[in-house]
Amino acid sequence: MSLATLAEVLQPALRDGRAVAGLVCLGWEDMRAYVAAAEAENAPLILQAGPSCREHTPLPILGNMMRYLAENASVPVVAHLDHGYEFEECKAALECGFTSLMYDGSRKPLAQNIEETQQIAELAHAAGISCEGEIGFVGYDGGEQSAGTDPQEAAKFAEQTGIDAMAISVGNVHLQQHKKGGLDESRISAIDHQTTVPLVIHGGSGVPVKQRAALASNTSICKFNIGTELRMAFGNALRTAVNSDETRFDRVQILKETHDPVEQAARIVIRAMNQPTV
C-alpha cells in the first residue's frame, strides 16, 4: 500500500533537495497517467482535486479513485484536496479518504486566515493526515491580481497554524500557459530565512523548468502544483484522437489515446523536480 500523507512525502524531499509534483486532476484518465508517470520515474506523487474537478465529480468518487490508484502504486501517492474554502468541505474530504487538506484562506485578513487554517490543521492532524495553508494571495492569469507573501507574516502564519506545508505568493500565477520570467528569488530567500516549513508554489506551470529544479535543490520549496501545462497536453492529445477518425464514437477508445502523451508530459515535470542542479 503506497497511500501517503503530504508530510510523509514532503519531509524527505525537503531533506534531500527535491520537490514533489502536485498534479491537478480533472478525471480518471489524467490521474491514471500521472501515477504511471510517477512509477516510471520512481518518484512520489500528489494527486490533487481542485475546485473545478470537484464541480464535475463528487468528492466520494474522487477520494475512492485516488485511493485505489495510490493503494496499487509502487510509489507513495497522496490524495490531496486543493483549495478547500470551507471547514465543512475539508471535513467532507477527510471523511472521503483524502490524506491531505489544503485550506485556502488567502483572501481573508491574516488573523482570520490563521484562525481558520489552524482549525483545519487540527482536524487533519487528529485524523493522522496533513494540512497545507496559503499566506499571501496567488492570482490568476487574466483575472485576480496576486498579493505577495510578507516574510514576517509567513513566519507567524506557519508557527501559529501548525501546518505541514505553506503555499506562498512570489510571482507565481494560476493558469499561465506560458513561462514568463520566473519567480522572485529574493522574496523566497527572505521567507526561507524566517520559516522551516516546506514551501509550496501554486501556478507552477508558469515557472521555467530550470528554475523549478534549482529552487527544489536550493530552497525549502518542495512542492510545485502543475495543472495548466498538463491540461494542455491532454487537450492536444484528445483533439488529435478525435480528429484522426471521424467515424469513431467510442469515447473509451478515444480517451485511451490521451494516456501516453499525458504520461510523457508528466514524466518531464516529475523528472525536473528530482534532479540535482550543478
Strand, helix or coil for residue 153: helix
The DSSP line for 213-232 is HHHHHHSSEEEEEE-HHHHH
Residue of 16, 30, 82, 150 marked active site: 82
In DSSP terms, 221 is beta-bridged to 199
Q: Which amino acid is at 9?
A: V
Helix axes 87-95, 59-71, angle to 10 degrees: 40
Look up 104 and say whether it is catalytic. Answer: no
Given a contact cutoff of 8 angstroms between Cβ atoms, the answer to whether 29 and 234 are in contact is yes
Alpha-carbon dihedral of residues 25, 26, 32, 36, nearest 10 degrees? -40
Q: Is the dihedral of CA 119, 122, 128, 132 positive or negative?
A: positive
**Active-site residues: which are they?**
82
